[in-house]
Structures are given as C-alpha cells and as structure tokens.
Amino acid sequence: MTITSSSSRARLRRAVLAGAAATGAALSLLTAAPAQAAPDTTQVYVWATNVNMRNCGSFECEPYDRVRISRMYVTAYCQSQGDVVRDSGYVNDWWVQVDAGGPRGWISAVYVRGGRDMQPVPGVSQDFEDCF
C-alpha cells in the first residue's frame, strides 16, 4: 500500500491539470488551422458514348484500358488546350480533366455538353493548378 502526502497529491493534481491545459491548447491550434482548400469542380455532361479517357490531353497518351465514359455527368477539375479532336461535326482543342468514379483522366471537350468549337467549356477552370 502506498501512502501519499497531501502535498504530493496537490503536485500530481497540478501536473494533470497542466497536461490537460496543454493538450487543449494544442487541439485548438490544430482545429484553428485552415484546411487545404479543395479545387473548384463542376459537373459536366458527357453526351457521347464510349469516350476514351487518357492520362493527358494528347493522343501521345494512350487511352486507359477498359475505361470509357458514356452519357453521364462527371466531375470536371480543369481544362487545358491540347490536340485537336474532330468528331460528329464538332472540333475542339480543349481537353477536360474529369473523374467519373474511377481514375481522373482527360477527355476531349468535343464530348462535353456546352462546349463550342475551339472554345473552352464554360464553368470549368482554366487554371492548370486546379488539376492537382
């Protein structure tokens, strides 16, 4: 059996209270720190079927194996100019980085509703840093 004096108990109580105060201060600093802002995204509609997704906005990047987008809304992060794509009477050199529930990748703006020939897709960031 250990017997502690009242002064030992008081020192222990002060140490516990000081530790709790320090922990509370540290937690408040962590929660007060600003969170990394998520890039602005927007939903766009891919009107075509079996659209290839690539690792870049160029034909130099092979299409992802077994990844195709067809007639669905996807999350768009940014857009950038790349290779010219012509399809179904449309032509565009803008590419949009999207996420369709799998890996992020690039599709031609030709296949995104709302885009105009050789113009960026309205509402999608043109800031390349939003891609990452």
pLDDT in tens, the chain (132 residues): 545 455 555 454 554 444 444 444 443 433 444 444 456 899 999 999 999 999 999 999 999 998 899 999 999 999 999 999 999 999 999 999 999 998 999 999 999 999 889 999 999 999 988 888
Asked if residue 111 lies in contact with residue 92, where contact means CB atoms within 8 angstroms, the answer is no
C-alpha angle 119/125/90, rounded to 5°? Answer: 25
131 vs 77: CA distance, rounded Å: 6
Alpha carbon 39 to its chain centroid, in Å, reads 6
Asked if residue 92 lies in contact with residue 118, where contact means CB atoms within 8 angstroms, the answer is yes
pLDDT at 11: 53
pLDDT at 12: 45
Short-list 85, 22, 20, CA closest to 59: 85
pLDDT at 14: 55
- What is the reported pTM? 0.70
